[in-house]
Each structure stands twice: as C-alpha cells, then as structure tokens.
A = this chain, B = another copy of it.
Amino acid sequence: MAGNRQPTIKTVAARAGVGRTTVSRVVNGSDLVSADARARVLAAIKELNYVPNSVARGLVTSRTDSVALVIPESESRLGSEPYFAALIRGVSAALADTRTQLQLTLVRDQSERDQMIASVTTRRVDGVLLVSVHADDPLPGMLEEMGLPTVLAGRRDERENLSYVDSDNAGGAAAAVRHLLDRGRRRIATIAGPLDMDVGRARLAGWRDAHGEAGVPADEVLVQGGDFTEEGGRRAMRSLLERAPDLDAVFAASDLMAVGALAELRRQDRQVPGDVAVVGFEDSVLARHTHPPLTTVRQPVEELGRTMARILTDITRHGAERQQVTLPTRLVVRESS
C-alpha cells in the first residue's frame, strides 16, 4: 500500500484501456465519451484512488481556482476583529459554492506586504480581495494591470472605478440622524471619522443630508473630527461639550468612538439618553455591552464578504465587468437614544 507513487492520468488510462484524453474527458464531465468507456474509466479511478493533480491542471489552464483575501493587521486589531471574522465567513461561504479555495494573507508590515505582492503576482491566485486599502495605495491598480482582478471592501472615494462592495454609509448615517430628529432632538452633534477616508466623508455627508431633508439647519459647530478610536471619541465629545453645551444628541461615526463619547458623558454627569442621545455605527459586539446598550447602524459585514467573493468569481469565471455594489444598512435601536 505504501511506497507507490500517486496514480496519474496515464495510470488510469492504462488500467481502463483507453487514452489519456478520454480519462480527462470523463474527469471533466465532457459528454463526448461513450457510456462504456466512461464506466471503465470511473472504475479505474475508483480502484486506483486517483485524484487529478490540480497543480498540473493549473499550469495548462492557467487557472488556480483560488483567490487571495488580504487583510492588513496593522489596523487596530481589537475593535476590528469581529469585523474581519464576519468578513472571512462571508467570503468563505460564497467561495465554497464555486469550489474556489481561499488564500488568507495577513499583512503586518512592509516586508510582509512585499511578500504578499510577490506571492499573489506569481500566479497562484486568480484574483484578489482587498480590505482597508488607503486612497493613495497603488496596489489595486498594479494588480489589475497585471491581469489580476481585484475587489475592494469599501470604496476609496466617490469616484472609485475599481470593483468594490461598500455599505451605504451616507444612507445609514442619515437614517441615524433622522431617527434622532424623530425623537425630537434638534442639536445633534457628530463625531466624524477621518475625512481622508470615504467612510468618514460619507457618514458626515449623511448627517448633513438628514438635516437638509428635515429642514433643520446643520450647525457646523456640532461637527468634530475623530479617528475611529475610543480615545478619539472621548476627546471629541469633550470638545463638543465645551463648544456646544446645549447639544442633545451625538451621532458617532463608529461604535468605538461612541463608546468613548459615552465615557466622557458619564464623566460629566450627562444622562444618556435623558440629556444626550448617542448613536454609533457598525453594530459590533461592543454595542450590545455598553451602558446603556448602544443604538447603532448595522453593517451587513458577512454579506459584504459574500458579495465581494461573488463579484470576483463573476469576473474570473465568467469574464464579467467590474462592479460597484452598495449594501443597505439598518438602524438598530437600543437604549442610548
């Protein structure tokens, strides 16, 4: 039993008394093969326990049936972990349907980034899924130029022309603010995300839009920049309270910043939601565990992953065109508003 080499297509052909090509046809499900021959080949395959060598196949077809998912590890890992986990689940689920393998690449530093580029570039994958790419990162362009289809998680600006899947940041933000307006809040501050990122800009735009629709003037004094961290949220909240002590609500562009805001409000003895209502964005696990539980805008992260994978396979397998998809978000009302 041991010692024998793996059977190849030739071994099978010999055993079944047919040519290589016929075996190949059977394996690949072609119907240009007689019932008789097919039966003999299948028997031989089973007897020999033959499994086609996908590397050899890949060499001639120049397809690997695997895609890379690249995740930068530098981004604050703690808050974002559940995000990545959900994303991976989604991607993996969609790929399983098309029998495509997932190559996961965590990129920690520049050297690992170079290594990732080398690996991806080396034709081991049919396409690439990229998470949190910065606006000025030349990588996606490079990849596409090398003939490697690429799909981004999150567009980089309003005019992104690569394939991407994003959640409806502006819409979600607007829904959050609309909800606050509905509850009678009129001085709604916002802790924005970094404005050099589309997420940051889009969520701020949503805040403006909702005010516009409702005919409530959007007071720019109520806008404070943040950096998506808890500490940043705390600082932003403090400076907002100084500038506009009369604010009665805050929309934070991320749950983590909302958590910081909650901490600062507690420190200054402002009741939530009594004095100030708070809404976050993302609906991470965090949101359920704050005091009080956080109203927030839910992103469909797992679906985002699924969609990314689906778009990529559409491109690699069926030669589809680039696609830009925006997924709806949903307001989850808890006790902070």
Contact A64 B73 (CB under 8 A): no
The A3-40 residues at the B interface (CB cut-off 8 A) are 6
Q: Kindly state whether residue A321 has any CB partner on chain B within 8 Å.
A: no
Q: Kindly state whether residue A229 has any CB partner on chain B within 8 Å.
A: no
Kindly identify which residue among B64, B66, B85, B103 contacts A85, using a CB–CB cutoff of 8 Å.
B85
Given A56-B59, A64-B55, does the pair A115, B88 have CB atoms closer than 8 Å? no
Interface size class of A (residues with CB under 8 A): 35 or more
In the bound complex, CA of A103 to CA of B103 (Å) = 4
Residue of B nearest to A119 (CB): B101
Given A96-B108, A123-B53, does the pair A102, B103 have CB atoms closer than 8 Å? yes
Residue of B nearest to A63 (CB): B55
In the bound complex, CA of A115 to CA of B145 (Å) = 32
A114 to chain B, nearest CB (A): 11
A18 to chain B, nearest CB (A): 22
In the bound complex, CA of A124 to CA of B88 (Å) = 21
In the bound complex, CA of A53 to CA of B103 (Å) = 17
A215 to chain B, nearest CB (A): 43
Q: How many copies of the polypeptide does the oligomer hold?
A: 2
Q: Which of A51, A93, A145 has the most CB of B within 10 A?
A: A51
When distances are taken between beta carbons in the complex, the residues of chain B under 8 Å from A99 are 115, 119
Residue of B nearest to A102 (CB): B104
The A62-104 residues at the B interface (CB cut-off 8 A) are 62, 64, 66, 73, 81-82, 84-85, 88-89, 92-93, 96, 99, 101-104
Contact B51 A122 (CB under 8 A): yes
Contact B101 A73 (CB under 8 A): no
In the bound complex, CA of A89 to CA of B92 (Å) = 17
When distances are taken between beta carbons in the complex, the residues of chain B under 8 Å from A56 are 59
A68 to chain B, nearest CB (A): 9
When distances are taken between beta carbons in the complex, the residues of chain B under 8 Å from A62 are 55
Between-chain CB contacts (< 8 Å), 19 pairs: A51-B118, A51-B121, A53-B122, A53-B123, A54-B122, A55-B59, A55-B123, A55-B124, A59-B59, A66-B103, A88-B106, A92-B106, A93-B108, A96-B108, A96-B112, A101-B105, A102-B103, A103-B103, A103-B104
**Ranked 3 nearest A-B pairs via Cβ:** A104-B104, A92-B106, A54-B122
